[in-house]
Structure 1
Amino acid sequence: MDITLEKKTLTEGFIKITLKEDDYQPQVEEKIKDYSKKANIKGFRPGKVPFNYIKKLYGKSILVEEINQILSQSLTSYIKDNKINILGEPLPNHDKSKDIDWENQRDFDFEYNIGMVNEFQYDLSSKVKVTAYDISVDDKVINETLDNLKLQYGTMTNPEVSEAGDAFYGTLTQGDFTKDLLLESTQIDKKLAKKFVGLKGGDTIKFDLHKAFSDTHELSHILGMSEDETKAMAGDFEFSIKNINRKIPGEMNQEFFDKIFGKDNVTSEKEFLEKVKSTIGANYEKETLSFLDYSIQNKFVESTKIELPDEFLKKWLMTANEGKITAEDIEKEYDAYIKDLKWSLIKNKIVEDEQIKVEHEDVLEKTREIIRAQFAQSGLGAQFEDSIDAFVDNYLKGENGNNYHKVFQQAQSEKVMACIKEKISVSHKKVDLEKFKKLVSN
C-alpha cells in the first residue's frame, strides 16, 4: 500500500492511496470463507457452501466492503500518524473512482481532498486590551422595574369603559376570516391606540392591521399565524370587543413582598427596595459577563491570522448537509461559520498550550449549577438540594451521552475564558442600561 500527501496550497491537498492485491486479498478470502460457513443457501447443507459459489454470489460486494474498510482505517491512521490538522472530513474524488472495474481490476487508486489549518499564533498577554461594561443600577432602572412588578403582580379588572393602556379581548373579522384574540393597546400604533379609549363591551372598531402593527413578527405572534400568512392579510378588519381588561398595579405591602420574594423573606419597604436592587444587579452582571466573553472572543478572532481552505470548506459543507442546505445558504452564513470555526481553533490551541484540563468533578459541578438554575426559574429551590446528585446523574446519562459532552464543552469554555481574563488587560467602565443595550446591538 502506498499513501502520499500532495499539497495544492498551504491549506488544501490530496491524500492518494494505492492498494495492491496483497493489501486486501487475504481479508477478502477470509470473509468469503466465513460466509461459506454461515450461509444458509437452498441446495447446500449449512456450513458446506463451496468457496467459489460464495465468491460468485458475493465476491464483488465483499471486495468493495473490505476495500472501503481498509481505506477508512488507513486514511485515519495516516492523518493521525503524520499529525495533519484537517478541517471537516476528507472528501473522496468520485471522478477518480467511478471507472473502477471491480470484476477484473487488481490494483486500485483512490484520492481524497482534504482541508488543513495552517500553524498560527495568538497573543495571550497584557497587550490585549478589552473593556468590560458594568451597568449602573440607577433610580430610573429601579423605578421602571418597580412599575413592571406592580403591573405583573397587580389585580386584573374588567371596567365598563376603556382607558389608555387597557387590553381588549374580542373577535377580529374580515369576510370569512374570524379569530378571537387579545389586543394590548400598548402594542398598537400610538395614533390608532387613541381610538381605543372610551370604548365599551359590544363596540366595534375598524382598522388596517398592518398600520396598527408595523412589526410583522409581533403581529404574526398575536394572530398565531406564520409571517407569510400575516403579510397576505391586507385591508381593513373589524374588531368586536367582548371584554376590557385592566391591570390595577399592586400596592407596596407584605402580600406584594411575599408574592415576589417568598413569604416573610422581606418585611419592609426598605428591605424590598434593597432586594430589588441587588437582584437587578445580579441579573445585569450575568449580561455584562456574557457580553465580555463575546467581546474577548471577537478580539481574538479579529486579531489572530488563520488561513483557511474556503473552497474546500464550502464543498464539504454542501456534502455534509446534502439536501438540507443550498449553495446560496452557505454563502449567506459562511462568514458566521468561519468566525465560529476560528474561535474553536483558537480555543482548542489555548487548551493545548495552557494545559487546561476538565475533570469529571468539573462536569458534575457544572451540571449541578445548570440544574439549580432550572429549579430556581421554576420557583423550586432548596427542597431538592438533597436529591441534586440524582438529578445530575440522570441528566448526564441522557441523550446517549451527548449531555455529558455538552456540559464538558461548557466547563472547558469557562476555564478557557478564565485563563484568558487572567492574562489579558480588562478595564471596567460604568454605563447606564440604554448605553449597554446600544453596545450589545452593534
Structure 2
Amino acid sequence: MNITKEQIDELNAVVKVAISKEDYQDKVDSILKDYRKQANIPGFRKGQVPMGLIKKQYGKAVLVDEVNKLLQDNLNKYLTEEKLDVLGNPLPRQQENFDWENENLDFEFELGLAPSFDVSLKTKKPIVHYKIVADKKMIDDQVERIQKQYGKLVSKKEVEKGDEITGTFTNEAEEIDNKTTIELSKIKGKKALNALVGKKVGDTVSLSTKGLFKEEYLLSSALGISREKAEKLNIEVNFIVEEINERQPATLDQELFDKLFGKDNVKSEQELKERIKEDSEKQFEQQADQKLLNDVTERLIDDTKFELPADFLRKWIQISGEKMLTDDEAKEEFEKSEKGLRYQLIEGKIIKENNLQVQFEELKEFAKGFVKSQMAQYGHINPEEQELENIANRVLGNQDEVKRLSEQLMSQKLLDLYKEKANLKVKEVTYDNFVKEAYS
C-alpha cells in the first residue's frame, strides 16, 4: 500500500491511496474459506461447496468490505503520523470507470485542512468584566421579603391596602374557575385596587384582566390559564372574596436567624444584611462570569482572522448527515455553523498553547462540588466525604456525564485564563444596571 499527499493550497489537499492485491488477498481468501465451511447451499454438503461458487456469490462483497477497512485504518493512521489537522472527514473522490476487478486499486480523498493563525488574548479594546454588587435597596427589599415570608397571617373582616385576599376568579364564557390568593401590593390599576378595598368575605368584584397586575406573568397563575392565553386576554372576570388576611412581618430576632442560617450563624440584623449581600453577590458572580465568557468568545471570533476551506466544508456538510442536502441547504448549514467552528478552532489553540488539561482527580473534585450543590438544594447541607465520593464515582461511571462535566471544567479553566490574561476592564454595577447594560 502506498499513500501520498498532493497539496492543492494552504487549506486543501488530496490524499492518494494505492492498494495492491497483496494488501488484501490473504484476508479475503481467509474469509471466503470460512464462508465455505459454513455455507448451506442446496445440492451441496456443508463445507463442500465449490470455492468458485462461493467467490461468485460473496467474493465482491467481501473484497469491498476488506478494502474499505484497509482504507479507513491506514488513512487514519497516515493522518495521525503526518500530524495533519483536518476539518470534518476525508471525502472520497468519485472516479469514472472504477473497476473492482482490477488487482491494483487507486483511491483519492479530499482533505480540508485547519488554517494556521495566531490568537491574542490582549484585544485592542478592553472587554468589560462586570462586578455586580448588592446595593442597599436590594438588601432592604430582601429583608422585607424574608419578614413577609416568615410572618404570620391575621384574619380580617374588610379589605385594606397591603392585604392578601383568597378567592375565586370566574368567567363562564372563557371557562375560568380558579381559586387563588392575590396580594393587593401586586395590583396595578387604581380602579381595580379601589374596587377591592373595603370588600368583605362573600362580596363579588368585577375586574378587567387588562393591566390587572404589575407583573404580567401573575395573570395566568391567578386565572389558572396558560401564559399564551393570558397575554391576549382582555375581558371582565368576577372575583368572589373568600378570605381576607393581613400578613404581619416576622420579627428580626434570633429565632428567625437560626431558622434561616442555622443556630448562632447570624446574630443581628446587620449580620443578616451582610449575609444577604455575600450570598447575593456570589450568585451574581456566576452571571457576570457567563457574560464575560460570552463577550470574550465574541471578541476573539471578531479579532482572530483566518480563512476556512469553505467549499470543502459545504461539500462535507452536504453528504455527512442522515440525508443528502441540496447545495442551498448545505450553504445555509455552513453559514449557521461557521461561527461555532471558528471559535472551536480558536479555543483549541488557546487550550494547546496554555497547556490546559482536565486531570481525572480534579474532575472528581469538580464532580463532588457539583453533587454537593445539588444536595444543598434539597436541604442536605453537610454530606459526609465518603457519601460524596461514592456518588461522584457513580456519576463518573457515565461517559455522557464525564463529557459534560469535563466541558464545564474546561470552560472554568478558560474563564480563569481570560481573567488572568485578557484585556479586561472591571466595572462595578448594581444588578438592575447589569441587566440593562448586558441584555438591553
Matches within 5 A, 1:312-351: 312-317=312-317, 319-322=319-322, 331=332, 334=335, 337-351=337-351
Please say if residues 88 and 313 of structure 2, whose CA atoms lie closer than 8 Å, have aligned partners that are also in contact: yes
**For residues 230 and 281 of structure 1, do their structure 2 counterparts lie closer, same or farther at Cα, with a shift above 3 Å needed?**
closer
What corresponds to 1:54 in structure 2? 54
| Residue 267 of structure 2 is aligned to residue 267 of structure 1 | yes
What corresponds to 2:136 in structure 1? 139
Matches within 5 A, 1:373-412: 373-398=373-398, 401-412=399-410
Tell me how large the CA RMSD over aligned residues is: 4.3
What corresponds to 1:279 in structure 2? 279
How far apart are residue 394 of structure 1 and its match?
0.8
Q: Which moved more, 1:127-136 or 1:28-37?
A: 127-136
How far apart are residue 403 of structure 1 and its match?
1.9
For the residue of structure 2 that corresponds to 1:343, the secondary structure is: helix
Q: Which has the larger radius of gyration?
A: 2
For the residue of structure 2 that corresponds to 1:382, the secondary structure is: coil
Number of residue equivalences: 433
Please say if residues 5 and 14 of structure 1, whose CA atoms lie closer than 8 Å, have aligned partners that are also in contact: yes
Give the TM-score of the pair, scaled to structure 2: 0.78
**For residues 388 and 34 of structure 1, do their structure 2 counterparts lie closer, same or farther at Cα, with a shift above 3 Å needed?**
same
Structure 1: segments with no counterpart, 5+ residues:
none
CA offsets per residue over residues 294-315 of structure 1, 9 Å max, x none? 3333332222113223444455
Q: Which moved more, 1:70-79 or 1:21-30?
A: 21-30
What corresponds to 1:435 in structure 2? 433
CA offsets per residue over residues 162-186 of structure 1, 9 Å max, x none? 6578576646656485564758678
**For residues 106 and 161 of structure 1, do their structure 2 counterparts lie closer, same or farther at Cα, with a shift above 3 Å needed?**
farther
What corresponds to 1:83 in structure 2? 83
How far apart are residue 120 of structure 1 and its match?
0.5
CA offsets per residue over residues 308-358 of structure 1, 9 Å max, x none? 2344445544555536999779848945x4333333322221222233333
> Which of 117, 120, 127 matches 1:123?
120
Query: Residue type of the partner of 1:197?
Result: L
Please say if residues 4 and 15 of structure 1, whose CA atoms lie closer than 8 Å, have aligned partners that are also in contact: yes
How far apart are residue 107 of structure 1 and its match?
5.3
How far apart are residue 56 of structure 1 and its match?
2.8
What corresponds to 1:358 in structure 2? 358
For the residue of structure 1 that corresponds to 2:366, the secondary structure is: helix
Q: Which moved more, 1:386-395 or 1:267-276?
A: 267-276
How far apart are residue 389 of structure 1 and its match?
0.9
What corresponds to 2:67 in structure 1? 67
Structure 2: segments with no counterpart, 5+ residues:
none
**What is the CA–CA distance in structure 1 between the aligned matches of 2:312 and 2:241, rounded to whole Å?**
61
How far apart are residue 121 of structure 1 and its match?
0.3
For the residue of structure 1 that corresponds to 2:396, the secondary structure is: helix
**For residues 106 and 274 of structure 1, do their structure 2 counterparts lie closer, same or farther at Cα, with a shift above 3 Å needed?**
same
Percent of residue pairs bearing the same amino acid type: 29
What corresponds to 2:196 in structure 1? 197
| Residue 48 of structure 2 is aligned to residue 33 of structure 1 | no
Query: Residue type of the partner of 1:145?
Result: Q
CA offsets per residue over residues 30-71 of structure 1, 9 Å max, x none? 221222234455665555544333323322322232222122
**What is the CA–CA distance in structure 2 between the aligned matches of 1:110 and 1:215, rounded to whole Å?**
66
For the residue of structure 2 that corresponds to 1:266, the secondary structure is: coil
How far apart are residue 395 of structure 1 and its match?
0.7
For the residue of structure 1 that corresponds to 2:265, the secondary structure is: coil
CA offsets per residue over residues 62-81 of structure 1, 9 Å max, x none? 22322221222233223223
**What is the CA–CA distance in structure 2 between the aligned matches of 1:319 and 1:188, rounded to whole Å?**
58
